[in-house]
Amino acid sequence: MKEKFYITTAIAYTSQKPHIGNVYEAVLTDAIARYKRQSGKDVFFLTGTDEHGQKIEDCAAKAGVSPKTYVDGVAGEIRAIWDAFGVSYDGFIRTTDPQHERVVQKIFRKLYEQGDIYKGSYEGHYCKPCESFWTDSQIVDGCCPDCGAPVTRASEEAYFLRLSKYQDRLLAYIETHEDFIVPASRRNEMINNFLRPGLQDLCVSRSSFKWGIPVDFDDGHIIYVWIDALSNYITAIGYDPDGSGDAYKKLWPADLHVIGKDIVRFHTIYWPIILMALGEPLPRTVLGHPWLLFNRDKMSKSKGNVIYGDDLIALFGLDAVRYYLLSELSLQNDGNISFEAVAARTNTDLANILGNLVSRTAAMIRQYFDGTVPAAGEREDVDAALQTAVLGCAADAVNHYEHYEIADACADVISIFRHCNKYIDETTPWVLAKSEDGRGRLASVLANLTEAIRIGCALFTPVAPGSAAKIAGLFGFASEELAIDTLDSFRFCAEGRSVGECGVLFARIDTKKLEEQIKQLSASKDNAAPKEKANEPAPGVISIDEFQKVSLRVGEIAVCEPVPKSDKLLKLSVDLGGEQRQVVSGIAEFYTPESLVGKKIILVANLKPVKLRGVESNGMILATGENELKVVFVDDSVPNGSIVR
């Protein structure tokens, strides 16, 4: 039976579209998961979205939609971006999933009933972007010490988690488990800045806003986002305080949480204490990765220095972007990204070193051996030197992968390909091909190159899976020949196989053309952005002429029934005074079909028809509210079909 490996990202916050700095974490975690699969592990890779909190409630209000509608849109966009980057997740959890919400309520109740959560009142500083509370001594010039945003004074009734009760136990655990927090600098920060000075009990509920999971035994309170969000790692795999499922028993504890350095405190202090209070084991390792900066500055939409992943893929291709991200950031230091930097690394490492090697090797096999990989003959000193160098780099890469040092592993892989190019220069296969005496030697050279490429291809697979698959297909490498346990020797696996046509693996980036593309990209975004003009009405304000285009009519609901396979939609047949109109409305959570029959409503009657769950809808009924919708009903005396003016 394979050894399990459970790996997670932090779940992405659904306030806005993620930029490339946010995408880095998903790509990093994906590379580790892919490596573990190649190593023979039974991997479960979880990611997802964090969808509750005051910031989202505010974003939804600004957009004029309900919080659920808002997060549905952003969560879909995040998942699409993860898919575009080839993130090979096995599970994708949303914190608005009903099962997650039910189990989080059970967790909160259990901790309350056993005395680990108690009711009190909070007064202090609150950072809305981070959803974090801070004391007077922790804030810096009136701002959050994590993100730098201004904090606000908060005072409200709340529930608290007894962090202080578990402080000594957690400190002892961290000090005796060196691999629990990596790198070591993050571990030292948690010990010296938080644990040794002493923990204050944590506010774990809010009553000043509504968008969150309700405390089921105290109306008016919602569960604080960090208990909600952090619990996803166990709710997604079947944890339940009343009895967990087989998946949870198999997968927990997590082998690796991959998170940003700014949320290490939540994952290595709050989360372990929650688990201790639940009587569950702690995750084996929490990796706090550094940030990806834009021109040495932290990316921020407000600063206008944000790069998006889809733009980078359009300019450079997926694997070039993945390679840049993974080769740029070490575990210790922040990395930097710019269009020019991605172009430079693509040209040097991928086009010049790797692409050139694969192209030359495949072309020589086709030219000199009719496209069939030859067998290796006697080994000379130069061959032994290549094999020693390649196997040494491969061992280093494996060691770096095992310690999650992916940037160092990338450097090792590129070194393999550099050694191969050097070997070509030293052996001059084009000279060997000119004489019949040199043919045996030429066969050995190309056999050695093909085998070295196999080893490099295997180690390149977690970083750039699409390009590695092209290389494997070109030389006929089978998937089992790319397993990590096959990289300790030259096995000449491809002997006798046909080599296909080699297209351009990585095209060189023309810097002048790139400059023009960047200008066009910037111009298109400027044109797409809304511009305020003098004497124009504020956003959302329409003229009387625009309003008169909307046809509002009174209709009577004649028939109402559920839409199949939907727990939110009802299908209404509306009498508009001589015209029957079919309308689909998302009000099933708030009204039964029988309670609506005979009621008169206001219908937006000139909307373009749409299909919802395959059912055509010709209009929209008016309703109000966000968390609880209320249909706008009309007095029975108003005739069907009347125009609302």
pLDDT above 50: residue 166: yes
pLDDT bucket at 637, cuts 50 / 70 / 90: confident
Inter-residue contact 215 to 203 (CB < 8 Å): no
pLDDT at position 299, please?
78
Q: Tell me the percentage of the chain whose pLDDT exceeds 90.
A: 71
Handedness of CA 354, 359, 360, 366 (dihedral sign): positive
Per the structure block, which two tokens stand in for 622?
């008016």
361-to-63, 381, 426 alpha-carbon distances in Å: 56, 20, 14
Question: Which of 149-153, 239-243, 443-447 shows the lowest per-residue confidence on average (mean pLDDT)?
Answer: 149-153
SS3 track for 210-278: CCCCECCCCCCCEECHHHHHHCHHHHCCCCCCCCCCHHHHHHCCCCEEEEEHHHHHHHHHHHHHHHHHH
CA 103, CA 8: separation in Å to the nearest integer? Answer: 19
Q: Which candidate, 257, 242, 138, places its Cα nearest to that of 186?
A: 257
Mean pLDDT of 488-502: 95
**What amino acid occupies position 124?**
G
Question: Which of 67-71, 83-87, 426-430, 558-562 shows the lowest per-residue confidence on average (mean pLDDT)?
Answer: 558-562
Q: Tell me the percentage of the chain whose pLDDT exceeds 70.
A: 95
Cross-strand pairs, 289: 260
How high is the mean pLDDT of the chain?
A: 91
pLDDT at position 490, please?
98
Mean pLDDT of 278-303: 87
Those residues whose C-beta lies under 8 Å from the C-beta of residue 243, and which sit 6 or more positions away, are none
Mean pLDDT of 48-60: 94
pLDDT above 90: residue 26: yes
Mean pLDDT of 387-414: 98
Q: Which candidate, 55, 56, 58, 88, places its Cα nearest to that of 75?
A: 56
Instruction: For residue range 430-483, list pLDDT tens digits in order.
Output: 999 999 889 999 999 999 999 999 999 999 999 999 999 999 999 999 999 999
- Rounded to two decimals, the pTM is 0.80
Cis peptide before 183 (omega within 30 of 0): yes
CA 213, CA 107: separation in Å to the nearest integer? Answer: 12
Question: Which of 230-239, 292-301, 344-353, 550-559 shows the lowest per-residue confidence on average (mean pLDDT)?
Answer: 292-301
Mean pLDDT of 58-69: 95
User: Cα angle at 438 between 433 and 443, to 5 degrees?
Assistant: 75
pLDDT at position 272, please?
98
pLDDT at position 124, please?
77
CA 559, CA 553: separation in Å to the nearest integer? Answer: 18
Higher pLDDT, 567 or 244: 244
Instruction: For residue range 513-541, list pLDDT tens digits in order.
Output: 999 999 998 887 766 555 443 344 433 45
pLDDT at position 628, please?
65
Question: Which of 521-530, 538-547, 567-576, 602-611 shows the lowest per-residue confidence on average (mean pLDDT)?
Answer: 538-547
CA 630, CA 590: separation in Å to the nearest integer? Answer: 8
- Provide the b/e sequence for 491-520 (b: ≥16 CB within 10 Å): ebbbeebebeebeebbeebeeeebeebbee
